[in-house]
Structure 1
Amino acid sequence: MLTIHAAELLLPGDRAPVPGGAVLVHGDRIAAIGPYEEVAAAHPAARVRRWGGTLTPGLVNRHGTALLEHTYFPDDPFELDALGAEPLTGPALAGLAPNEARRGNSARRCTQKLLARGVVAVGARLTTPSVRTAVRRAGLEVLPDAAPVALDSFDPALLDPLAGVALADAFRAPLVVGGGARFAVFGVGDEEGLLVRGAEVCVATVIGGRLVHRRR
C-alpha cells in the first residue's frame, strides 16, 4: 500500500526544507518526496497520514551502550516500590545485579523510550544476548560506539538524541527516493523550536515503513 506522510514542514536532511512537504512510502522504501500537493496529485489512491509539526530523517542516539548495557530501567509500576522510578546505574546497578532476563526487559523499556524520541539507530556495543534481541525486535539499527560512557548516575539528557548536537548531525541519513523509510515527526513547526524543545516532542516514528511509535 502507498502511504503519504504529510507535515507542516519537511526537512529532507540534505537539501532545503519543504513547507507543506510529504513523503510517499511504498513498503519499506521512500517512493517520492516533495510538496504535498504534487505528491498527492501523482498518487491519488495513496492513503494519507497528516501530521502537525516537522518531519525529519530518523535520529541516531550515540549513547546506546550506556543506556542499554549500563543502565537498568525499572518496570513501571511493578518495581517502583522496591527500586524507585529513576534508572539505575553504577553502584546501584551493580547492587541489583540483574540477570539476563531482567537486562533484556530493561533494554525493551529503553528502546520504547528511544522510539518515542524519533530514534531509528543507536551507537552501541551490545554484549548481552537479551539486550541485542530487544534492540533487534524494536527495529533499531546498531552503529559502532567508539567511546562508551561510564555512568555513575543517570542523566536524562542521554535519552535525547538532539541534546548538545547540531540537528543535521543527529540525522541517521537524508531522506531520498529509493532509500529506507526511516523518519520521525515532531510536534513543532520549525527547526529552532525542535532544538529548543528536544526530541521528547516526537509524535511519530517510522522504521521500515512501519509506524513503530505514535503519541497517544
Structure 2
Amino acid sequence: MRLRPGSALSENEIAACLKVSKTPIREALIRLVEERLVTVVPKSGTRVALIDIERFREGCFVRLHLEVAAVAQAATLRNDGHIIQMKANLSRQREALEKEAYWDFFLCDEQFHALILKAAGLAGLIQIIEVAKVEVDRIRSLRNRLGVRRTEIVLREHEAIVSAIADRDPGRASQAMRDHLGEVDQRTWALGEDHVLWSFIESVSKVPTKKQFGFTG
C-alpha cells in the first residue's frame, strides 16, 4: 500500500508517471471505484478509499466459511498430484521466509489457498473470494508496512493443513483451516490488540472503530 487511504488521486499525475494517456488511467479508476478501492468525493475529486472495518469483517466471514468447507472437500478428493503441488508451494514459502522476501511469501500464500480450492474442484471460488477479501488484503498490506508479521506461524499452519489433506482427514483439515483463518470476531479483536496498527486504521477509517466494536484500551 503506497498511497495512504484518503489520498487524492490525479489522472494527470498518474498518466505522467506511467507515461501513458489518461484514457487507460480513467478506465482503471472506474474499475477501482466498482471494487470500492477508490471513491469519488463531490467537490474533492478521486481518492483512495478509506479503511472499512465492516468490509474487513465481511471478507473474513466469506473466506472462512468457503475455505473451511473447501479444504474438507480437498481432503476427501485427495490425490498425489495436488499434494505434490502444495508441498512445492510450502518449499517456496519456506525459502521466501528465510530470505525475508515478504512480498514473495504473500504471493505464495495466495497461490497456496488457490491450490486448495482447485484440489476441491472449486476453482470458480477463487475469484469470489478474491473480491470478498479486498479489505482483508489491505489490512494485511498495512500489517506488512508497519512490520506486523506472522509469517513463521502462517507457514506452520499451512503445513498442518497440507498434512491433514495428505492424510485424507477432512475433519482435521477443516479445523486446521479454521485455526489458520480465525473466527471473524477473533480477527477483529486481534486488530484492536495491536495499538499501533489500530491507531493507524482509526485515522483512515470510515467510522470511530474502537468505539463501534467495544474496545476500551
TM-score (norm 1): 0.31
User: Hey, which of these two has a bigger chunk of helix by percent?
Assistant: 2
Structure number with greater Rg is: 2
User: Hey, which of these two has a bigger chunk of strand by percent?
Assistant: 1
TM-score (norm 2): 0.31
